[in-house]
Amino acid sequence: MSFLEKSITINKPVNEVFEAAIDFKNSPEIMDAVIKVELLSEGPVREGYQFKETREIRGRKASSVIEVTKFLKDQRYSVQSVQNGLDLRYHYTFSEVSDGTKVEFRGELYTEGLRNKLARPLIERIIRKEDQDHLVHLKNYIETNH
């Protein structure tokens, strides 16, 4: 179930935007709460590729393994993290437009267990607060560093 949708246009070619977006080592520059990324897979990003992301949330550090679940070079990719009854999925689509690249983002959250179902509105608010501006950060990062 989708709980967060955003889109932005980045004034760079689609291949450049896509490559920067899938360079997960850049996540601390793009995602406010991310403080560390450890690549768990070798080689190019592809379906099944994994990395470990550490976030600082309300003064606490939390790590999760994230897996690329869909990948179509220069067009779209999806990532998923499943932990403690929370299944978080982020989907990105890239398309060429007249003034650069349009990036569309959709976040989905699925919960298991009564406690997580009851806490879902709070969990969504926390995630929304952490990640709602990450496309703006991605745009700024790409347009100033590439």
* Residue 57: Cβ within 10 Å count: 12
pLDDT for 23 = 96
- Six-digit token pair at 20? 């920067």
Look at residue 1 and give its three-state secondary structure.
coil
Q: What is the pLDDT of residue 145?
A: 85
CA distances for 138 relative to 48, 88, 101, 117, 120, angstroms: 23, 20, 12, 31, 27
Q: What's residue 142's pLDDT?
A: 96
Q: Which helix (H) or strand (E) holds 29?
A: helix 27-30
Output the pLDDT for position 32.
Answer: 87
Give the C-alpha separation, 57 to 81, whole Å: 16
Contact 38, 25 (CB under 8 A): no
Tell me how far apart the alpha carbons of residues 65 and 71 are, in angstroms, rounded to a whole number: 17
Cβ pair 66, 131 in contact under 8 A? no
Mean pLDDT for back-to-back runs of 10 residues, the chain (146 residues): 93 97 94 94 97 90 96 98 95 97 97 93 91 95 89
59, burial (CB in 10 Å: exposed 0-12, middle 13-18, buried 19+): exposed
